[in-house]
Each structure stands twice: as structure tokens, then as C-alpha cells.
């Protein structure tokens, strides 16, 4: 059976137009800002130009102004957007908004879609996803969820502390995970709530200093205290929050991989430009064996990550849970992207360490991905457990 990895002509055209847009419009802004998240005015201007170029919001359905791409098609387009740190922001496919749009389109009511998804997809507002908590609360172990939502007259009262909430500063609303049944450590019992930023019970706190600085509005602490919302704020069904989280997390992990793969390709291109121009020891750097090994290893890492991403995306497009494929792709890509950027910096020598190219910024940005969306160690634990479980099932059949 033939296997065709090439995208459909329409997707290939969109990917090409995205690459052109990023190269001509976004990268000059990125270079001017040093790759750090720009102002709200710049965000809106980049998104205006993306809309005019016909590359805006490729992931949402046409009903909400997008191209309605499936996961495999997104892999082609998102990687081109990710060639710049600011490309995803310009196309409105940056975290956490992109994952929130995916979740809202999948499970929100029609009213919730009109009130939250429509303006979010249009870039008129931003959002955040409030799940992670300070220790000993929810983090790598979501069952540790401690934020609680208690039934009150005509609605719910949410109380708890969140931290590392990306984009909370200036977000119009938050999707909040809160426990509605059981105790911290118990499986299940979580519910998702839509909380407007002007709710007096929601307080956005300090910006947490981090290695990465390109994700818009940074990572913040958020406190919910006597935060009362109506029944219409429940997203999906009560006590089904962890199940809905899987609707968001698998695809969001893959779109993270797509975007960072774009940065890996950018780093490799910077290194290739350098090694083909730089002469030392009476030859080009690209002709030296140790440099060639690093160039080749980068090509291998990029190609392998791309293949694993496509495999996981294919399973997701088939409606499969794809948990094993997603964990494998996420773990490998997070580590491969780091290796590629690190080798590229090494190949560029002093230039790579300098601020004259953005490799140092890229290195700071990609390092946290080995922790974000589940640390590599937790994914490896899950991968091994599934492999053992599958082997045991075959052995006992």
C-alpha cells in the first residue's frame, strides 16, 4: 500500500503562503524585538496582516473565519508559522489560545461558542487555561487538583490558587479546572468553567520570571476566591473535566511540537548558512568531519520528529485517543529540538553565543518544552506502562 506524506495542494499552498508571510512580515519584527513577545499593538498589527494575507486562523472552522485544517494539515502550516517565534502569534495559533479554540469548538454550547470562541478566533480577545497549581496541587499529576468548585444557589463558587498560567495578563476569560467531586489525589471529579476576567473573584497576580519570554503575556499566578459563576459557565458536563482535558491536551501537545519543529528548522538554516560561508584551517567549516556530523544529526532529528508528529496526527484525525503516539512524539520532539538548536549554536561558535543571531534566544525558549505539557520523565513512565500493559494483554490472549 502506497504511503503519501505530501499535503494536499490546498494545504501545500497555504503552507507556502505562510512561509512567505513569516519571512517577509514576521521575522523582521522578531529581529527588532529580539524574539520577546511584543506589545498588544504589534500583536494586533501582525494579525491584521496575516488576515489580509489569507493565512490567519488555519485551525478553526470556516464558520469562525478559519481554514478548518485537520491535524495532519496543521503539521505543514504550523511548522512554517513556527519558523519565527512570533509566527504563531501572528496567525493566532499560539498557546494557549489555539488549544482553547480547539476545546471550545469541540464541546462548548452554541452560546458559549458565540460568546467566547468567535471573538477568540477573530483575535479580538485572548484567553488562558487555568489548570496548573502550586505544589502540592495539580501539575504533572492532574489528580492532585486542589482548586474546588462548590455548589451555590444558581451556580458555583470557585476557590483555589493557580500558577504558571500562560497569557493570563490581559486575557478576557479563563478556562478553569476545579474539583467538583472527591479529594486531591482522587481520579476524576474535575469540571471546566468559563470565568470572565472581570469576575471580582478572579485575581491575576505576579508574572513568574522564566527562561522563555516569547509566549504572549508570560506565565502568571492567578487566585480564585469566592469566584461565583452561573450554571451556564460550566464547559461540558460536571465531573467530566479530565476527560475533556484529553480533547485539548493531545492535539495541543502536537501543535506545540509543530511550532517548535519550525524553530529547529530555522536554527539548522542559520547554522548551514554559517558553515558554508565560514573558512578556517584552509577549508570551509562545512567540509570538516565533526561539523558534518552535527549537521547530519540535526537533519536526522528534524526528520524523525516530523515523522512521529505525522503518525500521532494521523491517529488523532482517525478519532483515536493516540495517547502512546502523542507521548512518543512529544518526548522525542522536545528533546530533539533542544539538540538541534544546541548543535546549531555550537556550529556558529562565537556568533551563536552572540546576540547577532537569535540562537541563544531559541535555546532559552525551547528548553522549557521538555517540562511543559508533561515532563519527558512522566511521558516515558506512561509510554512504558502502556507497552507493558499491551505486552501482558497479548501474552494472556
pLDDT tens digits along 29-67: 999 999 998 999 999 999 999 999 999 999 999 999 999
Distance (Å, rounded) from C-alpha 257 to C-alpha 371? 13
Q: Does residue 339 surpass a pLDDT of 70?
A: yes
| 320: helix, strand or coil | coil
Distance (Å, rounded) from C-alpha 190 to C-alpha 133? 14
Neighbours of 213 (CB within 10 A): 17
Closest to 362 in 3D by CA, of 378, 340, 384: 340
| 155: helix, strand or coil | strand
Distance (Å, rounded) from C-alpha 213 to C-alpha 78? 20
What does residue 288 show for φ and ψ, rounded to 5 degrees?
-90, 140
Q: Are 188 and 145 in contact (CB under 8 A)?
A: no
Strands 173-179 and 127-130: parallel
246-299 pLDDT, tens digit per residue, is: 999 999 999 999 999 999 999 999 999 999 999 888 889 999 999 999 999 999
Average pLDDT over residues 83-108: 97
Q: Give the CA distances from residue 36 to residues 30, 123, 214, 268, 350, in Å, rounded to whole numbers and listed in that order.
A: 8, 19, 5, 21, 22
Strands 202-207 and 190-196: unpaired
Distance (Å, rounded) from C-alpha 89 to C-alpha 305? 23
298-324 pLDDT, tens digit per residue, is: 999 999 999 999 999 999 999 999 999
CATH class of 242-396: mainly alpha
What is this structure's pTM? 0.95
Cis peptide before 236 (omega within 30 of 0): no
Beta bridge partners of 151: 156
106-157 pLDDT, tens digit per residue, is: 999 999 999 999 999 999 999 999 999 999 999 989 999 999 999 999 899 9
pLDDT, residue 271, reads 98
pLDDT, residue 75, reads 97
Q: Does residue 355 surpass a pLDDT of 60?
A: yes
Cis peptide before 96 (omega within 30 of 0): yes
**What is the DSSP code (8-state) at residue 123?**
T
Neighbours of 313 (CB within 10 A): 26
For 119, residues 6+ apart whose C-beta sits below 8 A from its C-beta are: 125, 172
Torsion of CA 335, 341, 347, 352, to 10 degrees: -140
pLDDT, residue 106, reads 96
Angle, vertex CA 330, rays to CA 102 and CA 130, nearest 5: 45
CATH homologous superfamily for 127-235? Answer: Butyryl-CoA Dehydrogenase, subunit A, domain 2 (2.40.110.10)
Mean pLDDT of the chain: 96
pLDDT band, very low/low/confident/very high, at 2 (cuts 50, 70, 90): low
Q: Give the CA distances from residue 245 to residues 4, 5, 253, in Å, rounded to whole numbers and listed in that order.
A: 32, 29, 12
Domain topology for 9-121: Butyryl-Coa Dehydrogenase, subunit A; domain 1 (1.10.540)
pLDDT, residue 7, reads 86
Domain boundaries, given as residue ranges, for the chain: 9-121, 127-235, 242-396
163-180 pLDDT, tens digit per residue, is: 999 999 999 999 999 999
Amino acid at each position: 500500500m502506497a504511503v503519501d506524506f505530501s499535503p494536499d495542494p490546498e494545504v501545500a499552498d497555504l503552507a507556502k503562503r505562510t512561509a512567505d508571510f513569516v519571512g517577509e512580515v514576521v521575522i523582521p519584527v522578531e529581529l527588532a524585538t529580539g524574539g520577546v513577545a511584543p506589545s498588544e499593538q504589534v500583536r494586533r498589527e501582525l494579525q491584521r496582516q496575516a488576515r489580509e494575507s489569507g493565512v490567519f486562523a488555519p485551525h478553526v472552522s470556516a464558520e469562525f473565519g478559519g481554514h478548518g485544517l485537520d491535524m495532519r494539515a496543521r503539521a505543514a502550516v504550523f511548522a512554517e508559522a513556527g519558523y519565527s517565534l512570533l509566527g504563531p502569534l501572528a496567525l493566532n495559533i499560539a498557546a494557549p489560545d489555539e488549544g482553547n479554540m480547539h476545546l471550545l469548538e469541540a464541546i462548548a454550547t452554541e452560546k458559549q461558542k458565540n460568546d467566547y470562541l468567535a471573538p477568540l478566533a477573530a483575535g479580538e480577545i485572548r484567553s488562558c487555561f487555568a489548570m496548573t497549581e502550586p505544589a502540592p496541587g495539580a501539575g504533572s499529576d492532574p489528580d492532585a487538583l486542589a482548586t474546588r468548585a462548590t455548589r451555590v444557589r444558581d451556580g458555583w463558587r470557585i476557590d483555589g490558587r493557580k500558577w504558571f498560567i500562560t497569557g493570563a495578563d490581559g486575557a478576557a476569560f479563563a478556562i478553569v479546572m476545579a474539583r467538583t467531586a472527591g479529594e486531591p489525589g482522587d481520579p476524576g471529579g474535575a469540571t471546566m468553567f468559563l470565568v470572565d476576567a472581570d469576575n471580582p473573584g478572579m485575581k491575576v497576580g505576579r508574572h513568574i520570571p522564566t527562561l522563555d519570554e516569547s509566549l504572549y503575556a508570560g506565565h502568571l499566578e492567578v487566585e480564585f476566591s469566592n469566584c461565583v459563576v452561573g450554571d451556564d459557565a460550566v464547559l461540558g458536563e460536571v465531573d467530566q473535566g479530565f476527560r475533556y482535558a484529553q480533547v485539548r491536551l493531545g492535539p495541543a501537545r502536537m501543535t506545540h511540537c509543530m511550532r517548535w519543529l519550525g524553530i529547529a528548522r530555522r536554527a539548522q538554516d542559520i547554522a548551514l548558512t554559517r558553515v558554508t560561508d565560514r573558512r578556517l584551517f584552509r577549508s570551509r567549516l562545512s567540509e570538516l568531519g565533526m561539523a558534518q556530523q552535527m549537521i547530519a544529526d540535526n537533519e536526522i532529528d528534524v526528520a524523525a520528529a516530523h515523522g512521529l508528529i505525522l503518525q500521532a496526527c494521523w491517529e488523532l484525525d482517525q478519532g483515536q485517543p493516540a495517547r502512546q503516539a502523542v507521548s512518543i512524539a512529544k518526548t522525542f520532539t522536545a528533546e530533539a529540538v533542544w539538540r538541534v538548536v544546541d548543535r546549531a549554536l555550537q556550529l556558529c561558535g562565537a556568533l551563536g553565543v552572540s546576540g547577532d543571531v537569535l540562537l541563544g534566544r531559541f535555546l532559552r525558549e525551547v528548553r522549557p518544552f521538555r517540562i511543559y505539557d508533561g515532563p519527558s520523565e512522566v511521558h516515558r513512565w506512561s509510554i512504558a506502562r502502556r507497552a507493558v500493559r499491551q505486552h501482558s494483554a497479548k501474552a494472556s490472549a
